[in-house]
Amino acid sequence: MRAICFTGVLLLGGAVLVTSCAGAEPEETATVSSQRLEAYREPDSEVYVVEGDLAFDGASALRAYLEPSEGPGLVVGCPEGVIVKWTPSEARDLRYCVSTAFGARHAVVVNALNQAAAAWEAAANVDFLHASSFDGACTASQAGVIFDVRPVNGAAYYARAFFPNAARSARNVLIDTTAFGSIAPYTLAGLLRHELGHVLAFLHESSATCPGQANTCPLTDPDPASVMHYPGCGRIAGDLVLSRLDAQAAGFLYP
């Protein structure tokens, strides 16, 4: 299984240049925990990406997350005991646009997003709505949608998303050109099922080799089949699909 690795700057009281390599195999899980804490700063922004695809809006938000904890299973952020999630009305109107900058791949992305959204909609009281009228002007400043889906090139991930408490400028699902290559056993729809899980507030599944982080609340027991597992942390092989416990957690969070 390929692990998503990254290079960038991690601010923990000061700037530290960190680098890790791509292509970690499952037997290298002993190094995964430290690699997860390395961050990539999005170009020309204050968004920091850690664990391959978790986007945090600003260094302070990143610092609040990067405190080790032993929380089990699937978790959500809950600083000071308050769960980070969409309100019921917001969850049923998660409008997004898909940039026409994808070119010939636009329809492929739209279809993969439809598949990914349908999986979460079947498990929880949420609705992802493609507002296609905004596709031609699908930017981080587009006010007619909750989030935008745009292509990037040369990023340190296949794709990355955001959490419900992000500012509009950081509410993006960014898909790198590498996501359209040979990514078996994953599919684009599988990657987007994972990313939409982040959009709904889910963090990465923790495990014995990849402990959880602070300011989080566990929703399930450890689940090696979870769609929210980070590569190399004990996940079973295969594409990223919702497990039984994922569906239960989603239904609990958005009844």
Whether 35 has a pLDDT exceeding 60, the answer reads: no
Query: What are the start-end ranges of the H helices in the chain?
Result: 32-36, 59-65, 88-91, 106-123, 188-199, 244-253
More confidently predicted of 132 and 204: 132
Task: Give the residue, 71 or 1, on which the prediction is more confident.
Answer: 71
Lowest average pLDDT, out of 73-77, 104-108, 247-251, goes to 73-77
Tell me the CA distances in angstroms from 98 to 15, 37, 154, 183, one per residue in order: 34, 30, 19, 21
- pLDDT of 71 > 60? The answer is no
The mean pLDDT of 32-37, rounded to a whole number, is 43
Pick 201 or 32 by higher pLDDT: 201
CA–CA distance, 241 with 25 (Å, rounded to integer) = 20
Q: Is the pLDDT of residue 211 over 50?
A: yes
For residues 164-169, give the mean pLDDT.
Answer: 96
List, in order, residues 6 or more apart from 125 with CB less than 8 Å away. Answer: 88, 91, 92, 251, 254, 255
The mean pLDDT of 85-94, rounded to a whole number, is 98
| pLDDT band with cut points at 50, 70 and 90 for residue 86 | very high
* Local confidence band at 67 (pLDDT 50, 70, 90 cut-offs): low
Q: Are strands 39-41 and 47-50 parallel, antiparallel or unpaired?
A: antiparallel
Q: What is the pTM of this model?
A: 0.75
pLDDT at 55: 80
Task: Supply the pLDDT for residue 30.
Answer: 33
Mean pLDDT of 16-23: 27
Q: Is the pLDDT of residue 186 over 60?
A: yes
196 or 27, which is more confident = 196
Nearest Cα to Cα of residue 123 among 229, 197, 40, 192 = 197
State residue 38's pLDDT score: 67
Question: Of 4-8, 30-34, 205-209, which one has max mean pLDDT?
Answer: 205-209
Q: How confident is the model at residue 10 (pLDDT cuts 50, 70, 90)?
A: very low
Higher-pLDDT residue of 77 and 45 is 77
188 closest CA partner among 149, 162, 225: 149
Does 238 score more than 70 pLDDT? yes
Task: Name the most confidently modeled range: 4-8, 63-67, 84-88.
Answer: 84-88
Greatest mean pLDDT range, 23-27, 94-98, 201-205:
94-98
Q: Is the pLDDT of residue 178 over 90?
A: yes
Q: Tokens for 54, please give them.
A: 């978790």
Q: What is the pLDDT of residue 141?
A: 95
